[in-house]
Amino acid sequence: MEIKQIKETCIYVKDLDQTQNFYHNLLGLPVIGRKEKRHVFFNAGTSVLLCFIAEATRQETELPPHWATGPAHLAFEVSASQYDSWKQKVSSTEIEIIHEHSWGGGFHSFYFYDPDQHVLEIVPEGMWEYLGAGD
């Protein structure tokens, strides 16, 4: 038995319109569901990004209640050949790149904030395989 992947990642947001504009209009993630005053969901490759209003899910009665406060960290993997294009795409919007890191082996990643101050990162495919090579 093995776990194949993390299928869903959940973050908590304050404004669904602002969240949808950021993740869909600026980053290009397809919207796969929205319920006013509760959530907006996006496809991210084979994963799903769940963006909830914390107070709505905190009061949940059908499913286990869940919520969190404070910034989370998410990394989006892109094709290594598209890394520079993604960096250019992000920097050409109102999104500020707050840090770019060199991981060795020619791998870099860059960081930026979403509207709720979650720390997002763009990583090239193969980076984690390179970083785990010494294990």
Last residue of a domain, one of 15, 34, 69: 69
pTM to 2 decimal places: 0.92
Amino acid at 111: Y
Task: Let me know if residue 111 belongs to a domain.
Answer: yes
Residue 89's domain is classified under what CATH number?
A: 3.10.180.10
Question: How many structural domains does the chain have?
Answer: 2
Confidence tier at 133 by pLDDT (50, 70, 90): low
Task: Let me know if residue 102 belongs to a domain.
Answer: yes
Indicate whether 107 and 55 sit together in one domain. no
Task: Let me know if residue 1 belongs to a domain.
Answer: no
Confidence tier at 124 by pLDDT (50, 70, 90): very high
d(CA 96, CA 111): 9
Question: Mind listing the pLDDT tens digit for each residue in 22-70?
Answer: 999 999 999 999 999 999 999 999 999 999 999 999 999 999 999 999 9
Average pLDDT rounded to a whole number, residues 92-98: 94
Determine the structural domain holding residue 37 and report its residue range: 7-69
Question: Mind listing the pLDDT tens digit for each residue in 62-92?
Answer: 999 999 999 999 999 999 999 999 999 999 9
Confidence tier at 131 by pLDDT (50, 70, 90): confident
